[in-house]
Amino acid sequence: MTAQPLTIGVIQMSMTDSVAHNVAHAIELVRNAAGRGARLVLLPELFENLYWCQVQREAYFANAHPVEGHPFLPRFQNLARELGLVLPVSFFERSGQAHYNSLAMIAETGEILGVYRKSHIPDGPGYQEKYYFNPGDTGFRAFPTAVGTVGAAICWDQWYPETARAMVLQGAEVLLYPTAIGSEPEEAGAIDTSLLWRRAMIGHAVSNSCYLAAANRVGTERVDGHEQTYYGTSFIADYQGEVLAEADRITEAVVVATIDLDAARRFRAGMGFFRDRRPDLYAPLVTYDGRTKPR
């Protein structure tokens, strides 16, 4: 069966310290993308608030909520149902005594198809996520949806080729990465990672012959005396690594691109990347030191 062309929308937005404002603004931007034909729309990581992981404060654990009875996920479920689109939504999840950086994959029916919990958790100046988040326990996921099979991971996951490969092996035809990334503090070298960030993901698109999109926040945020500027540059790339649509470093944006999943599928088969894999030789990948498999 031939797939219809699919239009993807990527939201680049600035956040405030008001959850109500951020959620309402995100809904407005999703409507904008849908009005331009998007049937799959990606919002940034933890768009509900300022990126509080700049600092370690017990008070910010109050931002976490269970999926059941969540304060804003139902609004996005209703939005997906109304607009007939697939909507992955990032949120801070509480489950029992655990806390996760999570993503709910919402179908065009409004149903939550499942939850992915961020696997790779960073810990460094300005990005102190290990204080807040348990390592994800869902494994990497590819969600069959009405618009194709969608793989979704979260921010730091995007630097790991194993993440992308695992999702595509499960059938993902589009890879999505909601993100919160920007300036590095002086103690971390004050480097600008924007080009590295994009190159890493374009490499995943090429080596997996797969479409890929990343949504970042933009603007300067101040949290408890700490300041960080997020560099935007959200983008959509095709299966050969060409950037189809992109945002700049300083402004909010809704970027859209129309993709051809059938063309990508043919190209992927013809390139032979998956035909010529040698899983029998990859044992070092499931170790920390290249020799000893963790117990």
Burial class (CB in 10 A: 0-12, 13-18, 19+), 174: buried
Given 48, 53, 118, 246, the catalytic residue:
118
Q: Are 172 and 132 in contact (CB under 8 A)?
A: no
**Beta pairing, strands 40-42 & 6-12:** parallel
* Residue 161 half-sphere exposure toward CB, CA atoms < 13 A: 11
User: Is 118 part of the annotated catalytic residue set?
Assistant: yes
User: Is 155 part of the annotated catalytic residue set?
Assistant: yes
Q: Are 52 and 60 in contact (CB under 8 A)?
A: yes
Closest C-alpha among 214, 223, 16, 201 to residue 126: 223
Closest C-alpha among 101, 45, 105, 119 to residue 76: 105
Given 53, 155, 173, 210, the catalytic residue:
155
Spatial separation of the C-alpha atoms in residues 6 and 108, rounded to whole Å:
14
User: Is 53 part of the annotated catalytic residue set?
Assistant: no
DSSP state for residue 62 in the 8-state scheme = G
Closest C-alpha among 76, 103, 105, 98 to residue 158: 103
What DSSP assignment string belongs to 227-289? EEEEE---EEE-TTS-EEEE--SSS-EEEEEEE-HHHHHHHHHHH-TTTT--GGG-GGGGSSS
Catalytic residues: 45, 118, 155
